[in-house]
Amino acid sequence: MDQSGMHGDRRLPSTDAPSLAERIRSEMESFTPSEKRAAHLLLSHYPFAGLDTVAEFASRAGISAPSVLRFVTRLGFSGFPDFQKHLREELEAQLLSPLAKASPSDKGQGAPALASFAEAVIGNLRATVENIAPAEFEAVVTLLSDPRRHIHFTGGRFTGALARYAESHFRIVRSHVDFIEGQPALWRDRMVEIGRRDVIVAFDIRRYQEDVTALCETASRQGATVVLLTDPWLSPIARVARHVLPAHIVAPSNWDSSAGLLLLTEALVASVTKRLWDTAKPRMEAVERLRNERS
């Protein structure tokens, strides 16, 4: 349902100005380590990082002033003021042509493996958001914000990492949070204490894993509430799940992309944190304190 030629039309006019940023990117590999640090700082806050003084720039990049000077000299400028002048002019030109803002990254040949992959992932995220009912999302937030519930995260061989990611955040925001390994041998005995007050949040995408399904079915049978994050074709777990949040996962790769699942996870973490802020804040501070003590 998406595009043939990767969002084909984009007016190439802008300026055929190679844009300093682009040049830096393409020459990145030829830079020395400290030049790379300078380059990264500049690109990450382009072009504002370069408008400060040499000293400021150097300190923010974590290198010395002379290294900064060498960096701009290497880029072909006669000195730092010359470099800044170029940045200002480029910025002015760019601001005057509103449309030029779009990424000029499609100039290269078929090389942008990363860029085209990113576009596909972004498409997935958009599609994911569109296909989820806000009410469903909110219902899950409410469920996970209930302090009386016990939350268990689990997932398959790839999605297990996402479950861990979720668990590592929720653990800090609230209590009664844990991670369950997918292998039956590891959770069978824990099932005795799973009941009505428990919530299982399962991650499962195609090549659905039988053991995760089994876990959810067992938990459901004992009265637990199951939340499922899956792909649009729905894991069999959907049959026992109270809430289902599907994410688009197809990418130009031999593998599926979990970015949509991560998006949902992070959005849930953000919303629950906000909802529980009164209790979450002291908790987070306490965790922080404990971490610092240990050093």
Site residues (CB under 8 A) for its own copies, limited to 238-267 = 238, 244, 246, 248, 251-255, 257-259, 262-264, 266-267
Residue of 17, 57, 10, 8 lying closest to 34 (CA atoms): 57
For DNA, the closer CB: 7 or 197: 197
Q: Does 252 bind DNA (CB under 7 A)?
A: no
Exactly one of 17, 69, 100, 129 binds its own copies (CB under 8 A); that residue is 129
Contact 201, 230 (CB under 8 A): no
Q: Does residue 176 sit in helix, strand or coil?
A: coil
For its own copies, the closer CB: 176 or 243: 243
Report which secondary-structure segment, H or E, holds 261. Answer: helix 259-275
Q: Does 287 bind DNA (CB under 7 A)?
A: no
The set of residues, in sequence order, having a beta carbon less than 8 Å from that of 150 and lying 6+ positions away, is 176, 177, 178, 197, 198, 199
Exactly one of 32, 97, 142, 175 binds DNA (CB under 7 A); that residue is 32
Report which secondary-structure segment, H or E, holds 89. Answer: helix 80-96
Site for DNA in 62-101 (CB under 7 A): 62-67, 69-70, 72-73, 78-82
Provide the mask over 179-208, with x wherever binding to its own copies is found by CB under 8 A and - wherever it is not.
------------------------------
Q: Is the dihedral of CA 240, 246, 250, 253 positive or negative?
A: negative
Instruction: Give me the residues that bind DNA (CB under 7 A), please.
Output: 32-35, 53-55, 62-67, 69-70, 72-73, 78-82
